[in-house]
Amino acid sequence: MASIMRLIIGIPIAAVITFGLFMLMQRLILTDQVEMESAGEELRIDIRPQVEEIRARQRDLRPDEVQRVQPPPPPPQIERQRAEQPSESLTTIAGSIPAFEAPQLRSDSVSFSISDRDAQPLVRIEPQYPPRAQERGVEGTCNVRFDVTPDGTPTNIRILQCSSTLFESASRRAVERWRYQPRIVDGRPVARVGVETQFLFQLDQN
């Protein structure tokens, strides 16, 4: 019952409020429109502005008037004394040149032949001590005979006598590495036969 009474009372009140709102909205709509402010001065933009020509001040680059300078006087001329030429001849001053007879050079009087000589050693390499003989403490000598070719190379190496066969190979290898000046006969190199040498194998006592 109470709810029906609230409904009966609320309807007229709601109708009054709705009507008031409707009148307020109508009044706002019919209000005179506000005039817009007058537009300001027209703004112009120029994308190609003209640059004002600026005249640069030119400096006066002309040099000041140069003061003329009097050039210095030329240096004094020194008189050079001229040497007097001798009035006497050279033979009178230095004496007469003695006459002499020039030597006569003939091809048959000069000989350029090379004198004969025997083969001479250029390179001599000592043999290496055999390791086996060194370990055993063996010492001794070895005599070798060989020939020398016209170009100075030892050949036909032969062992004549060795105190131990341990020294033969070392002696032969040493002679193979020797080089000689060949024997000269009548100005020409020839072979030298029967060259003998002896090697001494001795241990250091240190």
Asked if residue 35 has pLDDT above 60, the reply is no
pTM over 0.75: no
186, part of any domain: yes
pLDDT of 201 strictly over 80: yes
Residue 6 lies in a domain: no
Domain holding 124, by residue range, is 120-201
Cβ neighbours of residue 139 closer than 8 Å, sequence gap 6 or more: 133, 163, 201, 202, 203
Percent of the chain with pLDDT over 70: 60
- Tell me whether residue 146 is in a domain: yes
What CATH number is associated with residue 159? 3.30.2420.10
68-95 tens-digit pLDDT: 767 777 777 766 666 666 565 655 545 5
At 127 the pLDDT is: 93
Is residue 158 included in any domain, yes or no?
yes
Indicate whether 85 belongs to any domain. no
Tokens of 82: 């001229």
The half-sphere exposure of 80 on its side-chain side, counting CA atoms within 13 A, is 2
pLDDT at 144 (0 to 100): 95
The count of domains in the chain is: 1
Give strand ranges (E) for the chain. Answer: 120-123, 140-148, 154-162, 179-181, 183-185, 188-190, 192-201
Which residue in 138, 83, 140, 148 sits closest to 118, CA to CA?
148
Q: What is the pLDDT of residues 176-195, one digit of tens each?
A: 999 999 999 988 999 999 99
Whether 94 is covered by a domain: the verdict is: no
Tell me the C-alpha distance between 196 and 119, whole Å: 12
